[in-house]
Structure 1
Amino acid sequence: MLTPSFEARQDKESIILTIRVPYVKISEAEIDIDGTNFKFHCHPYYLWLEFSGELVEDGEEKAQYEVSTGNIIVTVSKKVKGEEFKNLDMLTTLLGGKKEVDLRSVAAKPLIEVISNNESSVYTNPPAAFSF
């Protein structure tokens, strides 16, 4: 899956996303809105954004595909009208699906796992070097 380039802006009532997805079959596009999460999928593109405020499906959402530019413009309503969503200009902070990793749990796991401890298969003397 490819993450498309995108731009996010807002007005008092909605979030407006411009997503660049050239040469797609737009009839197969899927959009999912769930609280602070916005997901867009249209093969081979996948975009998951997490906003600081909640979005809502209220019948006012719309999407328009501009064939000449390859952009889809999606407008989604804010749950709380007038709320100012933060960091819309920091695109990497919007990207969702990030999991926090606890480094202590990673360090506690062994990096090498012994599958078999068959002494006869272990070399005690390395083979002699080849000479030409």
Structure 2
Amino acid sequence: MIDETKVTTEEYVAIYNATNAIFLGLLKEIRELSKKKPDAIMSAGKVSIINRVLEDLRLFLDKEPEGKFLDVLDDENLPQTSDSVLIMCQYETALKAFKNKYYRSYKIGQYASKQAWVTPEFLSEYQEYEEY
């Protein structure tokens, strides 16, 4: 049975799908930079690129309990790479929590199951399936 209190929107799923891989790639690069020079100050260009992704993620993560902990990088007082990793790790954790909450397995037969994002559209389709 699907928990109907844990439902997201198709719009938020689309943003997640469009930004998650890009975010994880950026995080990997910043982690590598931080290993080499943790105290190095990031360039304004890097901060701008990262913030564009973080702002998209905040469109849906702000509505989650973890959203209150999410900040963008300071583009006036440019952060060190280690500080950027810390902030981005908070997003990584929030993204995992979002997927764990809204991406579920459900039965489609006696022996088969499928995974899907739990959205109003999914619930409608799933309820129609259960009626058969």
Query: Could you tell me the TM-score, scaled by structure 2's length?
Result: 0.28
Between Structure 1 and Structure 2, the one with more strand by share is: 1
Larger radius of gyration: 1
Higher relative contact order structure (alpha carbons within 8 Å, sequence separation ≥ 6): 2
Query: Could you tell me the TM-score, scaled by structure 1's length?
Result: 0.28
